Amino acid sequence: MYLTHLDCPRCGREYAAEVLQNLCQCGSPLLARYDLPAVAKAVTPERFPLRPADLWRYRELLPVADPRHVTTLGEGWTPLLRTPAYGTEIGITDLMVKDEGLIPTGSFKARGAAVGVSRARELGVERIAMPTNGNAGSAWATYAARAGMGATIVMPLDAPSICRRECVAAGADLRLVDGLISDAGRRVAELISASNGSIFDAGTLREPYRLEGKKTMGYEIVEQLGWQAPDVIIYPTGGGVGLIGIHKALHELRELGWIGDKLPRLVAVQSTGCAPIVRAFAAGEDRAQPWVDAHTVAFGITVPAPLGDELILAALRESSGTAVAVDDAEILADLRDFAAREGLLLCPEGAACLTAARHLRAGGWIRAGERVVVLNTGAGLKYPDTVDVSGVPLMG
């Protein structure tokens, strides 16, 4: 294994990777670090096409030492689809969608769950607990079951009902709260505090290995483009782990010498009903203030106070990126418009990225001819209420 240690991006403290870790003493998330020069000697990009089409093809850059602990359902290597009809309509002729809806459990959360559960299993964890807006809970409950591990999942009552059903089917201890993910987080903290160390906190960025699974989206995008980086990557941002992970992957790829120095501009997309990152970015601040009365149809990005705010904002600024808030009416309209032209039903979070792309192209931030990748982070079928069928006539 090429994993060397964990470090804190805020204060610089280093931690042993062989020991279970949550946050740094200063309260910041920790990041996994690798011996990249040794990785570059051990493997070259030409080797990856010879390996299975899943995220474990990048095993040298992942934190699991013993393959016996790898917990997998075949996650990763999702398609990168060209979308010429919709792209031409909005003025982005080289628009692509990476469709994470085809991954196990129907969302990109399976990437983080696969790697996070595998590493937790390797380090001796027997039960995890986490707050979730839905899809992460489904994924972690599913992979925990596959690993023979217990899972306590706490989610808001308003989360998609399919996610509740997935957790129950996987045998998880599911608990519901009448509130937001922040309220679920407080309940998880209470459970862990009372557990005497028997439950491991697997909440967003509270353990360092979910991020490692998510970063493989960045590796895949670059490999699928022939080891070329796109000009822009647009990502729906709640907790922000995917965006932080892609940013980390791009820097690792550059240090390995597998891509050039020019990196994509990253875009964080939020809803006008919950936009703490957009507000902080516009104000030039390094931290985001909690969003009051958060609500949006894109439930997965309803995160009023993301723990990784510093890392998200740093990734946007280092990449010369930006942050955009879009409203629910436009999200739903673009979801329908895109499906009618391209035949792909996106999740509302993915559709929010299309709305952002349209606005950024109209305003000139995305330039003519640029290659733009949008992340569709989940299957549209998990959100049936986003398409109104009340006006469909009944035939006699």
What's the average model confidence in pLDDT over 204-227? 97
Q: Which of 299, 303, 297, 298 is nearest to 275 (CA)?
A: 303
Q: Is the predicted pLDDT of residue 394 greater than 90, yes or no?
A: no
Q: To the nearest 10°, the Cα dihedral for 312, 318, 321, 324?
A: 30
* Least confident window among 157-161, 253-257, 315-319: 157-161
Average pLDDT along the chain: 97
Q: CA quadruple 286, 292, 294, 300: dihedral positive or negative?
A: positive
pLDDT, tens only, 44-53: 999 999 999 9
Task: Report the distance separating Cα 185 and Cα 176, nearest Å.
Answer: 11
pLDDT, tens only, 92-123: 999 999 999 999 999 999 999 999 999 999 99
- State the total domains in the chain: 1
Q: Specify if 374 maps to a domain.
A: yes
pLDDT, tens only, 121-166: 999 999 999 999 999 999 999 999 999 999 999 999 999 899 999 9
CATH code where residue 356 lies: 3.40.50.1100
Burial class from Cβ neighbours inside 10 Å (0-12, 13-18, 19+) for residue 67 reads exposed
Cα 76–chain centre separation: 13
Residue span of the structural domain in which 341 resides: 80-105+211-382
**Confidence (pLDDT) at 345:** 97
**Confidence (pLDDT) at 238:** 95
Q: Which of 10, 40, 14 is nearest to 254 (CA)?
A: 40
Burial class from Cβ neighbours inside 10 Å (0-12, 13-18, 19+) for residue 297 reads buried
3-state secondary structure the chain: CCEEEEECCCCCCEECCCCCCCCCCCCCCCEEEECHHHHHHHCCHHHHHHCCCCHHHHHHHCCCCCHHHCCCCCCCCCCEEECHHHHHHHCCCEEEEEEHHHCHHHECHHHHHHHHHHHHHHCCCCEEEEECCCHHHHHHHHHHHHHCCEEEEEEECCCCHHHHHHHHHCCCEEEEECCCHHHHHHHHHHHHHCCCCCCEECCCCCCCCHHHHHCHHHHHHHHHCCCCCCCEEEEECCCCHHHHHHHHHHHHHHHHCCCCCCCCEEEEEEECCECHHHHHHHHCCCCCCCCCCCCCCCHHHCCCCCCCHHHHHHHHHHCCCEEEEECHHHHHHHHHHHHHHHCCCECHHHHHHHHHHHHHHHCCCCCCCCEEEEEECEEHHHCHHHCCCCCCCCCC
Q: Specify if 14 maps to a domain.
A: no
Q: Specify if 254 maps to a domain.
A: yes
Interstrand relation of 80-82 and 94-99 (parallel, antiparallel or unpaired): antiparallel
Task: Report the distance separating Cα 176 and Cα 155, nearest Å.
Answer: 5
What's the average model confidence in pLDDT over 211-231? 98
Helix axes of 309-318 and 241-256: crossing angle, nearest 10 degrees: 50
pLDDT, tens only, 339-371: 999 999 999 999 999 999 999 999 999 999 999
Task: Report the distance separating Cα 323 and Cα 93, nearest Å.
Answer: 22
Q: Specify if 50 maps to a domain.
A: no
Q: Specify if 266 maps to a domain.
A: yes
What's the average model confidence in pLDDT over 254-262? 97
Q: Specify if 142 maps to a domain.
A: no
Q: Specify if 154 maps to a domain.
A: no
> For residue 12, what pLDDT band results from cuts at 50, 70 and 90?
very high
Cα 21–chain centre separation: 21
Query: 392 CB contacts (<8 Å, ≥6 apart)?
Result: none
Q: CB–CB of 306/288 below 8 Å? A: yes
> For residue 264, what pLDDT band results from cuts at 50, 70 and 90?
very high
Q: Specify if 121 maps to a domain.
A: no
Q: Is the predicted pLDDT of residue 391 greater than 90, yes or no?
A: no
Percent of the chain with pLDDT over 70: 100
